[in-house]
Copies of this chain bind each other. A is one copy, B any other.
Amino acid sequence: MYPILNGLRVVECASFIAAPSCALYLQQLGAEVIRIDPIGGGMDFARWPVAPGGQSLYWEGLNKGKRSVAIDLSRPEGRELATALITAPGPDAGLLVTNYPQKGFMSHEALSARRSDLVTVRVLGWGDGAPAVDYTVNAALGVPCMTGSQENGDTPVNHVLPAWDLLTGAYAAFAMLAAERHRCRTGQGQEVTVALSDVALASLGNMGQIAEVLTQGDRPRYGNALFGAFGRDFTTADGQRVMVVAITGRQWTGLVTALGLQEPIAALESSLAVSFVADEGQRFVHRDALFPLFERAIGALSLDALRSRFETQGVLWSTYQTLGTALEHDPRLSLDASLFSMLEHPSGLRYPAPGAAATFHGAERHGAVRAPRLGEHTDQVLAEVLSLSSARIGQLHDAGIVATA
């Protein structure tokens, strides 16, 4: 954690990845995050992966360092408590991250009636508020039809990384700070909605893929080939897989030199009347002619020999590794780095947990903080933020309106 956003107080009423990761990023830069869940846990409380004991490793990963308050949100008295926490006074409070529906008790209209400068960042599935998850948005947008090789025929290949969820979470954190900055200068709060589908569509548009499809039709599957330049997986003499990329002219020259392919490449350029150095796109257009040269050259070298040549020439490459192998053996992905803190988690397991993904060189990085047990901070938060007496908190427990871990 970095002391960069110290003083900010954010309330989170959310589930799954996008909105909880938005609040996590804020927490990792020093904001106080109060996560409100239904008693017994929200929709993501059991989400896989799970520990051998059954507790969600996903939940305890996405909620690190937050304070947990458990409230019966189906009853008016519980909704009133949540509303009071969301709209509590303080110049650096009044910030809500949620993926609850736009209508109902957690509507911005209802909440801002209690605090007019409230900033609500609301993650939606579809832009019109209809429910969607990463995997349904991705199917609708065509990415699974571009993934994998021609041999997949018309069978889609889903991504396993919920990329749109993660991207929406980071973008929502950016939108929150932008809206909070605007509020500091104008006094004006507002609702900001961030839909998975808008984030996905805008991203494809920003990378030129909407223009591409409108002018040139749908992009077919290109297997593991990097689109528009040189890149693919290759296998070494000792059966290791490597990903090799050359986008710039310098990367291309380094790669060709590392493999001693200057002559056959020059011959190919001459016969095709193209320059692979000057025009990265030609490396893609003529990939069927180029790839066999690289297959043979890389296939004739052991991984060690290849590494030595690639390092000398500054080639852009990596071995393919499993995550387990990477964490165990790759020093660039070491869990001993300052990005990680060894923590004992609510599951009872002890393992390294990441902090902020950015490094702030003007501030000191403090260790990550474990996730709360569900409702661990209910009493503390009600007392601190709403100044409720212990007698009143006791009554709320007796009535089943709140719960503690």
Given contacts A159-B159, A160-B143, A161-B143, contact A60 B208 (CB under 8 A): yes
A305 within 8 A of B: no
Classify chain A: how many residues form its interface, as a range. Answer: 35 or more
The residues of B that contact A136 with a CB separation of less than 8 Å are 243, 245, 316-318
Given contacts A5-B181, A61-B207, A136-B245, contact A360 B190 (CB under 8 A): yes
A336 within 8 A of B: no
CB within 8 Å of B: which A298-321 residues: 314, 316-321
The residues of B that contact A175 with a CB separation of less than 8 Å are 29, 358, 360
Stretch of A76-84, A225-233, A382-390, A394-402 at the chain-chain interface: A225-233
A210 within 8 A of B: yes
Query: In the complex, which residue of chain B has the Cβ closest to the Cβ of A222?
Result: B160
**A177 and B179 contacting across the interface, CB-CB below 8 Å:** no
The residues of B that contact A132 with a CB separation of less than 8 Å are 316, 318
Stretch of A192-200, A256-264, A267-275, A289-297 at the chain-chain interface: A192-200
Query: In the complex, which residue of chain B has the Cβ closest to the Cβ of A177?
Result: B177
How far apart sit A203 and B166, CA to CA, in the bound complex (Å)? 8
**B207 and A58 contacting across the interface, CB-CB below 8 Å:** yes
The residues of B that contact A218 with a CB separation of less than 8 Å are 322-325
A359 within 8 A of B: yes
**A4 and B178 contacting across the interface, CB-CB below 8 Å:** yes
The residues of B that contact A49 with a CB separation of less than 8 Å are 208-209, 211-212, 216, 219, 227-228
A247 within 8 A of B: yes
A109 to B: closest C-beta gap in Å? 10
The residues of B that contact A48 with a CB separation of less than 8 Å are 208, 227-229, 280-281, 284
A47 within 8 A of B: yes
- Interface digits, A158-173 against B, CB 8 Å rule (1 contact, 0 not)? 1111110011001111
How far apart sit A337 and B226, CA to CA, in the bound complex (Å)? 31
A73 within 8 A of B: no
A202 within 8 A of B: yes
Query: In the complex, which residue of chain B has the Cβ closest to the Cβ of A170?
Result: B170
A182 within 8 A of B: yes
Q: Which of B156, B173, B351 touches A214 (beta carbons < 8 Å)?
A: B351
How far apart sit A136 and B202, CA to CA, in the bound complex (Å)? 24
**A281 and B43 contacting across the interface, CB-CB below 8 Å:** no
A266 within 8 A of B: no
A189 within 8 A of B: yes
**Most chain B beta-carbon neighbours within 10 Å: one of A142, A155, A202, A319:** A202
Known: A24-B206, A61-B206, A136-B245. 13 other contacts (CB 8 A): A48-B280, A52-B215, A62-B206, A135-B231, A139-B319, A142-B321, A147-B157, A170-B170, A192-B361, A197-B332, A202-B354, A214-B351, A219-B323
